[in-house]
A and B are shown apart, each in its own frame.
Chain A
């Protein structure tokens, strides 16, 4: 079986035998999601990149002790969330909106500059509102809305029940609703 056809569990088994090719395959498969999760939580691209690297280093070190009771992606996400939260608590600062300049992004489809600016302002509004949520609500909301993870999987990542995840997401939505409505009421109509 070619390595590019191997599923995550098989790759982890190979990584536990120090197979670097399998490890690189796993990294390529998950690095964008893990990096974005770290970035959405931490808010700094350099720290997010370092944290994502540390997450995969941890995966490499612990591959031999992974019990395969949950999905590999769930396990990697759990490490990423825990490490990111540790960084946030260590930094003890609030996140600011990071300029999108200087960072590579996926192609936006050739929109005209005015529309791009409007879109950028909208994204900044959204990020600021999400950033101001309480930590537990923010994590659950980011994993659900940005990473498209189901509440059940989020519960496995955070070690809480699915109900608790749904409550946190619901509260996050209520809080976001209040913040965004008041922001929109103060913003000009073009948004």
Chain B
């Protein structure tokens, strides 16, 4: 099997972690022996990849436990009655407010959707009103379409 540089590049991690089956491994080794560029790349990548498990573990600061302890003490502190009432109200009102907004949305959406529609366009607004109010209708616009439609309807009427 003849391996080119692209194939070796695509299998770098498997090569370094020794996850390549026997025949492919031989092909890669043969290629690396003959290609100094790929050999250098594999070597550098290998050094880089080997740093991964050796990444330095960071240590939390000395303030970690005292600050955490302070948070625990705050949590354990008995809450004044007024604070409890406000927290309780906030916790129960929030879902109630969301439900109310949803219901209002459904209510208004339903009524908007069921508003009466006009089947005859000329009953909505006479064409003359369109023409006096909007002097120029761009070609292809709704106004242009309505104007042409109304003219056509009037011409077809006996």
Which residue numbers of A lie inside 8 Å of B, CB to CB? 18, 20, 23-24, 27, 31-32, 35-36, 39, 45, 49, 52-54, 56-57, 60-61, 100, 103-106, 108, 119, 122-123, 125-126, 145-146, 148, 173-174, 176-177, 180-181, 184-185, 189, 191
Whether A60 lies near B52 (C-beta < 8 A) is no
B81 CB–A CB distance under 8 Å: no
User: Within B51-71, which residues are at the interface with A (CB < 8 Å)?
Assistant: 51-53, 55-61, 63-65, 67-69, 71
User: Which of B22-30, B39-47, B85-93, B131-139 touches A?
Assistant: B39-47
Whether A105 lies near B64 (C-beta < 8 A) is no
Whether A20 lies near B51 (C-beta < 8 A) is no
B152 CB to closest chain A CB (Å) equals 55
Whether B13 lies near A32 (C-beta < 8 A) is no
Instruction: Give 9 nearest A-B pairs by CB, closest first.
Output: A53-B68, A105-B56, A35-B60, A104-B59, A173-B13, A145-B52, A57-B71, A177-B13, A177-B12
Whether A105 lies near B51 (C-beta < 8 A) is no
Complex CA gap A148/B57 in Å reads 12
Whether B58 lies near A36 (C-beta < 8 A) is yes
CB nearest neighbor in A for B59 = A104
With A105-B56, A122-B48: A56-B12 Cβ-Cβ less than 8 Å = no
CB nearest neighbor in B for A145 = B52
Given contacts A24-B65, A176-B13, 10 further A-B contacts (CB under 8 A): A32-B57, A39-B58, A49-B63, A53-B68, A119-B51, A122-B47, A123-B55, A126-B55, A177-B12, A189-B44
Complex CA gap A20/B47 in Å reads 44
B99 CB–A CB distance under 8 Å: no
Q: For B41, what are the chain A residues with a Cβ–Cβ distance below 8 Å? A: 181, 184-185
Q: For A106, what are the chain B residues with a Cβ–Cβ distance below 8 Å? A: 56-57, 59
With A57-B75, A173-B13: A180-B45 Cβ-Cβ less than 8 Å = yes
Whether B58 lies near A35 (C-beta < 8 A) is yes
| Chain A to chain B contacts (Cβ below 8 Å), 11 pairs | A20-B69, A32-B60, A35-B59, A53-B67, A57-B68, A104-B61, A122-B51, A123-B56, A146-B53, A180-B48, A189-B44
With A119-B51, A126-B52, A148-B53: A20-B60 Cβ-Cβ less than 8 Å = no
CB nearest neighbor in B for A40 = B55
Complex CA gap A39/B40 in Å reads 33
B72 CB–A CB distance under 8 Å: yes
Whether A52 lies near B52 (C-beta < 8 A) is no
Q: For A54, what are the chain B residues with a Cβ–Cβ distance below 8 Å? A: 71
**Of A56, A100, A108, A189, which contacts B68 at CB under 8 A?**
A56
Q: For B63, what are the chain A residues with a Cβ–Cβ distance below 8 Å? A: 49
